[in-house]
């Protein structure tokens, strides 16, 4: 079962924020001395018991954010006496960075031209590169280079306000309150992915405007004038590591892939999150979508989103020689080839190995499975699937096996649906094939073969009538994995009475056909049950 977690926490305690800079105008460094600061008024960060609340960039720790100031952070003061918004022209951030050999500092001072005498002044932060003090732009296209690094948010719409209070020395102090909303994503996959599998982007969509240009005043973003919803502003896409993506751990781990998005606050409907995944080894990609519906994003608050990605996982231990007492790679799981055309020498080689196939002799009636294959469908049932299963090949459904992403598989009608359509019952289908013969009782192995080349494409419209068999491939010879994504081989519980060399019946699926036929028992085909693929619990 796939789990999703979505909860709200204080932005002061748990918010990864961005570097807030502006390269458009040269901003002086406030370290030149009192002579250079003549005519400027100092507005300094107020040092409190929670100094991190005053800063504009940070690192998410998993329980809180440690905040810092970075180069070129800049503020606005609303001076009512002049009816204008005035931008800071100097700060002491760079001098601290140079002195400490660091990229961020815990405190900062900002300097504004002119003389200020009022007891308080409103202060605004409107984001990196923003030359307007009364507008904030939440970007629809955001990008993050490094896991758990919110340095991009300042350029993508981060904003805040404060009230600066005058001290006895004529200097002002303030505490910045953030006014955007934030989502911190930590997607994971509980079954585990190989390092090749990445989350490359995260897209959020709603019925209302999430992005765009918003009016901004001393109270923050003016939601009363929110832009009209359009295709351009109803979604935000966060691209990760230039499209190369972040890794996906087996449990939430902010250090490995925390991805931080800035959004406009407010109430939303039709809220969805879409994760784009890509496997660099199999070159298979796809999307996983979670629908949240109604959602409220509060200003200044972050919502951590820890999503166990809903990708169906198929059991790596499903492969077996026909009716062996142990699966194909039992005891050698770490050696199991997990990519096509890879091999390993620790495959079963003789009857002394419990992973070897059941050597029941070719007799009439055919020997039935007793071990791994005893619960597989029999040959009569395979004939019904092949002949009346209305097969649909699906090239788009994303699934996972052996730590990798794949696509490709067959939809077949369930036995109960086939039975109704053919005026029979599932019990009778086990006893006789569509042609009236019982291949579990007669010596007619060669004639039992049936191939259906009439294959539809895509998912069937009446999907509830069908079940899905993934193209899990097979270990055909010498422990080599073949055909994952292009075909699947599924054992029956029926041996071939005409094959004294160890044959048994199986169902083969591919884009071109569904075939019920017989094969050497030494092949590593999949164990399954009627109407059910070998999915992991």
Number of other residues whose CB lies within 10 A of the CB of residue 82: 10
| Residue 532 forms part of a structural domain | no
Residues 287 and 175 in one domain: yes
Does the pLDDT value for residue 480 go beyond 50? yes
Q: Residue 114: its pLDDT value, please? A: 83
Task: Using the 3D structure, point to which of 272, 307, 342 is the last residue of a domain.
Answer: 307
d(CA 295, CA 452): 49
Same-domain pairing of 336 and 189: no
pLDDT reported for residue 361: 81
| Those residues with Cβ within 8 angstroms of residue 234's Cβ, 6 or more apart along the chain or in another chain | 205, 206, 207, 208, 209, 210
Say yes or no to pLDDT of 35 above 80.
Answer: no
pLDDT score of 42: 83
Range of the domain at 381: 313-526
Examine the domain organization and report whether 177 and 291 are in the same domain.
yes
The answer to whether the CB of 174 falls within 8 A of the CB of 165 is yes
The CB density around residue 420, as the number of other CB atoms within 10 Å, is: 14
Q: Which of 307, 328, 345 is the last residue of a domain?
A: 307
Predicted pLDDT at 184:
93
* DSSP element (H, E) containing 255: helix 254-257
More reliable by pLDDT, 384 or 361: 384
Residues 256 and 388 in one domain: no
Say what the pLDDT of residue 25 is.
Answer: 28
**In terms of domains, do 268 and 151 share one?**
yes
Q: What is the pLDDT of residue 259?
A: 95
pTM given for the model: 0.89
Q: How confident is the model at residue 13 (pLDDT cuts 50, 70, 90)?
A: very low
* Predicted local distance difference test score (pLDDT) of residue 32: 40
536 and 522 in contact (C-beta within 8 Å)?
no
More confident residue, 188 or 175: 188
pLDDT band, residue 263 (cuts 50/70/90): very high
In a domain, 37, yes or no: yes
Q: Verify that 294 and 330 share a domain, yes or no.
A: no
Q: Clarify whether residues 330 and 182 are in a common domain.
A: no
Q: In the listed set 279, 307, 335, which residue is the last one of a domain according to the structure?
A: 307
Residue 537 counted as domain residue: no
Looking at per-residue pLDDT, the higher value among 530 and 65 belongs to: 530
79 or 502: which leads in pLDDT: 79
Domain shared by 160 and 234, yes or no: yes
pLDDT of 461 over the 90 cut: yes
Q: 97-142, pLDDT tens digit by residue?
A: 888 887 766 778 889 998 899 999 999 999 888 899 999 999 999 9
40 and 127 together in one domain: yes
Q: Which residues contact 534 (CB under 8 A, 6 or more apart)?
A: 314, 315, 318, 472, 526, 527, 528
Is 535 part of a structural domain of the chain? no
Sequence-distant (≥ 6) Cβ neighbours of residue 31 within 8 angstroms: 92, 94, 95
Percent of the chain having pLDDT more than 90? 71
Task: Specify if 531 maps to a domain.
Answer: no
Q: Is the pLDDT of residue 208 over 80?
A: yes
H helical segments located in 305-388: 379-388
In b/e form, how buried is each residue of 42-80, taking b as 16+ CB within 10 angstroms?
bbbbbeeeebbbbbbbbbbeeebbebbbbbbbbbbbbbe
Would residue 105 count as lying in a domain?
A: yes
The helix (H) or strand (E) run that includes residue 510 is strand 503-510
pLDDT at residue 24 in the model: 24
Residues 358 and 494 in one domain: yes
Residues 321-337 have pLDDT tens digits of 999 999 999 999 999 99
Q: Name the pLDDT band for 48 (thresholds 50, 70, 90).
A: low
Q: In this structure, how many other beta carbons lie within 10 angstroms of the beta carbon of residue 18? A: 27
Mean pLDDT, the chain, rounded, equals 88
Give the integer Cα–Cα distance in Å for 193 and 530.
28
Assess whether 97 and 219 both reside in one domain: yes
- Rounded to an integer, the average pLDDT of 395-421 is 98
513 assigned to some structural domain: yes
Strand partners, 467: 412
**Confidence band (pLDDT; 50, 70, 90) for 372?**
very high
CB 401 within 8 A of CB 472: yes
Q: How many domains does the chain have?
A: 2
Whether the per-residue pLDDT at 225 is higher than 70: the answer is yes
Q: What tokens does 240 get?
A: 């990760």
Q: Judge whether residue 29 has pLDDT over 50.
A: no
Q: Are 332 and 189 members of one domain? A: no
Q: 471 lies in a domain? A: yes
Evaluate if residue 314 carries a pLDDT over 60: yes
Is the pLDDT at 145 greater than 90? The verdict is: yes
């Amino acid at each position: 079962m796939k789990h999703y977690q979505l909860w709200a926490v204080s932005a002061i305690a748990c918010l990864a924020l961005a570097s807030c800079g502006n390269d458009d105008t040269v901003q002086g460094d406030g370290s030149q001395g009192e002579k250079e600061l003549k005519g400027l008024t100092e507005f300094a960060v107020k040092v409190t018991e929670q100094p991190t609340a005053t800063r504009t960039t940070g690192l998410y720790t998993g329980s809180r954010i440690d905040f810092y100031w970075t180069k070129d952070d800049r503020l606005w003061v609303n001076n009512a006496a002049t009816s204008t918004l005035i931008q800071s022209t100097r700060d002491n951030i760079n001098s601290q960075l140079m002195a400490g050999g660091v990229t961020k500092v815990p405190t900062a001072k900002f300097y504004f031209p002119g003389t200020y005498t009022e007891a308080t002044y409103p202060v605004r932060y409107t984001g990196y590169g923003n030359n307007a003090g009364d507008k904030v732009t939440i970007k629809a296209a955001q990008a993050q280079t490094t896991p758990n690094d919110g340095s991009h948010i300042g350029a993508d719409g981060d904003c805040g306000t404060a009230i600066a209070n005058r001290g006895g020395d004529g200097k002002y102090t303030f505490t910045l309150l953030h006014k955007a909303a934030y989502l911190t994503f930590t997607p994971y996959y509980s079954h585990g992915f190989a390092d090749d599998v990445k989350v490359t982007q995260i897209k959020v969509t709603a019925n209302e405007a999430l992005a765009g240009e918003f009016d901004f005043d001393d109270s923050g973003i003016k939601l009363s004038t929110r832009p009209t919803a359009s295709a351009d502003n109803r979604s935000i896409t966060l691209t990760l590591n230039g499209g190369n993506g972040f890794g996906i751990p087996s449990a939430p781990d902010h250090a490995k892939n925390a991805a931080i998005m800035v959004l406009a606050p407010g109430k939303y409907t039709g809220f969805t999150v879409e994760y784009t995944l890509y496997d660099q080894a199999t070159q298979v990609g796809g999307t996983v979508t979670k629908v949240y519906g109604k959602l409220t994003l509060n200003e200044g608050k972050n919502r951590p989103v820890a999503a166990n990605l809903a990708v169906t996982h198929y059991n790596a231990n499903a492969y077996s020689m026909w009716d062996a007492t142990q699966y194909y790679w039992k005891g050698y799981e770490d050696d199991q080839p997990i990519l096509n055309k890879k091999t390993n020498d620790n495959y079963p080689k003789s009857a002394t190995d419990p992973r070897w196939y059941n050597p029941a002799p070719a007799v009439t009636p055919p020997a039935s499975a007793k071990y791994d294959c005893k619960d597989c469908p029999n040959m009569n049932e395979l004939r019904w699937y092949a002949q009346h299963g209305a097969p649909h090949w699906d090239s788009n459904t994303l699934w996972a096996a052996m730590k990798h992403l794949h696509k490709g598989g067959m939809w077949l009608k369930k036995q109960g649906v086939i039975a109704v359509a053919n005026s029979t019952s599932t019990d009778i289908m086990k006893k006789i094939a569509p042609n009236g013969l019982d291949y579990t009782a007669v010596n007619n192995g060669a004639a039992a073969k049936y191939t259906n080349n009439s294959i539809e494409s895509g998912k069937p419209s009446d999907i509830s009538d069908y079940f899905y068999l993934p193209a899990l491939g097979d270990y055909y010879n010498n422990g080599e994995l073949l055909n994952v994504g292009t075909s699947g081989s599924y054992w029956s519980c029926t041996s071939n009475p005409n094959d004294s060399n160890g044959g048994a019946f199986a169902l083969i699926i591919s884009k071109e056909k569904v075939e019920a036929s017989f094969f050497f028992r030494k092949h590593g085909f999949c164990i399954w049950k009627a109407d059910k693929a070998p999915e992991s619990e």
